[in-house]
Structure 1
Amino acid sequence: MSPIDDKWQTIQWIGPPVDAGGGIDEGPNPDGRGRSRDFQNGTIEWSPQTGAHEVHGAIRVHYAQFGGPESFLGYPVTDETGTPDGIGRFNHFENGSIYWAPDTGAHEVHGAIRDYWAQHGWERSKFGYPITDEGGSPERRSSRFQGGILDWTPSGGVREAFDL
């Protein structure tokens, strides 16, 4: 049995493996570092550095839109988990997070903006949940949240803006 099989044994709610075009067996990911298998209700991703973790629902869809483990987010480092405020859900990845709430949908947060948001209390902060993915240029990045905007520049770091 593989680490993905072991994980599947602990989360049977994810359903049986499905044929994702290459058969129902787990397969190596294009990055050569990890493996994955699709199931009826989610995907289990594994790498030697992160272990096996599941991603499902709207977070799974958004993660796939970025390119899954081959994206800048990398492999999941948590299973999908409920947020402490009891409203939303999240997965943390090697290089960022995707948060989902019923009113906002699924959005990624990473880098210095994610760090700043975390230091201020995540979704329970005055910022609330992200309402956009991080965007912008290498010289200026920003993420919109329910309660404001966090901007980042290399020279100024993260700055709060509340003029939605």
Structure 2
Amino acid sequence: MSSIDDKWQTIQWIGPPVDAGGGMNEAPNPDGRGSSRDFQNGTIEWSPQTGAHEVHGAIRDHYAQLGGPEGFLGYPLTDETGTPDGIGRYNHFEQGSIYWSPATGAHEVHGAIRDYWGQHGWERSQYGYPISDEEGPSPANRLSRFQGGMLSWTPAGGVREAVAFDDD
């Protein structure tokens, strides 16, 4: 049995493996680091560095849109977990997190903005849940939007609260 099989034994709610044309066995990922297997209600990703973790629902969909384990977030470090405020859900990944709530949907947060948000209380902070992925005109000028405001980052200034501009 593999680590993915072992994980599946502990989370049977994920359903049976699905045949994606290549059989129902786990398949190595293109990055050569790990493997994955799709199940009826989610995916289990594994790498030697992170172990086996499940991703499902809207977080799984967004993770796939961002490139899955081959994308910038890398492999999951946690199973999907309920947030301490009891409203949303999240997965932490090697290079960031995806948070979901019914009001905001699923959005990624990473780097210094994620660190700042976490230091201030995550979703229980004044910022609430993310309402956008990190964006910006360049790698040196980044912005994340949250329910309670925006956080920006530049190499020179670090993370700061961003001012929203009125469209009027």
Q: CA deviation at 1:148?
A: 0.3
Superposed CA RMSD in Å reads 0.9
Could you tell me the percent identity over the aligned residues?
A: 84
- CA distance, structure 2, for counterparts of residue 120 and residue 83 of structure 1: 15
Structure 2 counterpart of 1:62, one-letter code: H
Corresponding residue number in structure 2 for 1:27: 27
Q: CA deviation at 1:162?
A: 5.0
- The runs of at least 4 consecutive aligned structure 1 residues that moved more than 6 Å come to none
Corresponding residue number in structure 2 for 1:114: 114
Residue 121 and residue 162 in structure 1: after superposition, are their counterparts in 2 closer, same or farther (change >3 A)?
farther
Unaligned runs of 5+ in 2: none
Structure 1 residue 154 corresponds to structure 2 residue 132: no
Structure 2 counterpart of 1:134, one-letter code: E
Contact 1:127 1:145 in 2 (8 A): yes
TM-score with structure 1 setting the length: 0.98
- Look up the SS of the partner of 1:17 in the other structure: coil
Corresponding residue number in structure 2 for 1:163: 164
Could you list the per-position Cα deviations for residues 60-113 of structure 1 after superposition, in whole angstroms to 9, with x for gaps in the alignment?
000000110000000000000000000000000000000000000000000000
Contact 1:147 1:162 in 2 (8 A): no
- Look up the SS of the partner of 2:126 in the other structure: coil
- Look up the SS of the partner of 1:62 in the other structure: helix
Could you list the per-position Cα deviations for residues 27-74 of structure 1 after superposition, in whole angstroms to 9, with x for gaps in the alignment?
100000000000000000000000000000000000000110000000
Unaligned runs of 5+ in 1: none
Q: CA deviation at 1:23?
A: 1.7
Structure 1 residue 132 corresponds to structure 2 residue 132: yes
TM-score with structure 2 setting the length: 0.96
Corresponding residue number in structure 1 for 2:2: 2
- CA distance, structure 2, for counterparts of residue 162 and residue 140 of structure 1: 14
- CA distance, structure 2, for counterparts of residue 150 and residue 95 of structure 1: 18
1:1-80 matches, within 5 Å, as 1-80=1-80
- Look up the SS of the partner of 2:160 in the other structure: strand
Structure 2 counterpart of 1:139, one-letter code: A
Corresponding residue number in structure 2 for 1:95: 95
Further displaced range: 22-31 or 87-96: 22-31
Q: CA deviation at 1:161?
A: 2.4
